[in-house]
Chain A
């Protein structure tokens, strides 16, 4: 599904990785691990098509990654929530931005799934860091894309939140989706479907 061919990236003058190759098949998850500053986020942004690699290319099903963005969901460091809007409005706007239509029931069900149904009408500024992450998870649940790219998905999540994340990823993998997650902490995902790649 996702293939990265001979990627080279640098930040400033420091080379993060050279001629990196990786491949993720449908139904598989790839954990990108590495210490802080090893280029996990850069790699993920290159895979998403946000950052241009110095050399090399990324393809999704043989097409350039950016052209396939309708088949991809990216969850970055920030949850992309507007402080002024309510949780429900934020979630609906994000799903619509991805070109999907979300019914009121689907949005509410997704919020129930991440245990935020009480906070539905709250402005996003009232949410804690972990709750913002959970809204991000609800967004993923509403975006059944072929490929999920997750940057540090476990940050700020409590035990119950981590379970929600693991369940969502497991569901996606069983449905034939692929997941790439950059993380510095171990994630409890489906072991038989998960590969890992360590950045130096």
Chain B
């Protein structure tokens, strides 16, 4: 044993929460500095949701039937739009190497990055959905159900998307490959998310759909950080 290690008196505790906090704080700060990019993503969501009523008939019953589905599909696309940059910019400027070599647990650091992705893309979508849903003649209860399902479902999108973003690091045409890889995985989230409003309209309970979404969130919350960390290590190897 050398003298240099002896100068570190006690092994400090590199906690999970500190790691998540570091990643969220840094990614949010970077996102707020590039506000234009953030605005483009939200504007994309607003426009996608708004073109459907213009392109289809102004029939209130038809709009109300397709509204929740459109809100959900647009959230998938909005989430996908920001995904390629989730790890690619850190990969490009060397930060990802430092993240992988940090004494903090890598799954916690990448989970923090996914959380920051959700805070910048998922949360605004949850907030905007009830406002945009008015275009579809949705009543207050349905809007609340859509917002609740988005609140539970969009974090799953960020976590699953993070796995895809890490797996496609360093590949050419990573963006479109990422969409191909991730959209099929988004399908169950979409079905249960959009299905919750349909269940309500059919007079059924929304609890099964929301519970399944919640279960999906718990599973991805536990599993996705480890998958992302493994994919990041592969990308750096």
Contact = CB atoms under 8 A, between A and B. Distances in A.
A and B pair up:
yes
Interface of A: 1, 25-26, 48-52, 61, 69-72, 74, 76-85, 89, 93-94, 96-99, 123, 144, 146-147, 175-178
Contacts of A49: 101
Given A50-B237, A78-B94, A1 B4 contact: yes
B44 interface: no
B2 A176 contact: yes
A50 B158 CA distance: 26
Nearest to B13: A99
Interface string B37-56: 00000000000000000000
A48 B212 CA distance: 42
A74 B101 contact: yes
Nearest to A60: B5
A76 B99 contact: no
B201 interface: no
Given A74-B97, A76-B94, A1 B29 contact: no
10 contacts: A26-B4, A50-B101, A69-B101, A70-B11, A78-B94, A82-B93, A85-B33, A97-B104, A99-B14, A146-B5
Given A69-B103, A76-B94, A99-B103, A84 B34 contact: yes
Contact of B26 (A71, A79, A93, A176): A93
B94 A71 contact: no
Interface string B78-96: 0000000000010011110
Contacts of A96: 22
Nearest to B27: A82
A136 to B, nearest CB: 9
Given A71-B8, A94-B98, A97-B102, 20 more contacts: A1-B2, A48-B101, A50-B237, A69-B103, A70-B11, A70-B14, A70-B103, A74-B97, A74-B101, A77-B94, A80-B98, A82-B26, A82-B30, A83-B93, A85-B33, A98-B98, A98-B102, A99-B12, A123-B33, A178-B4
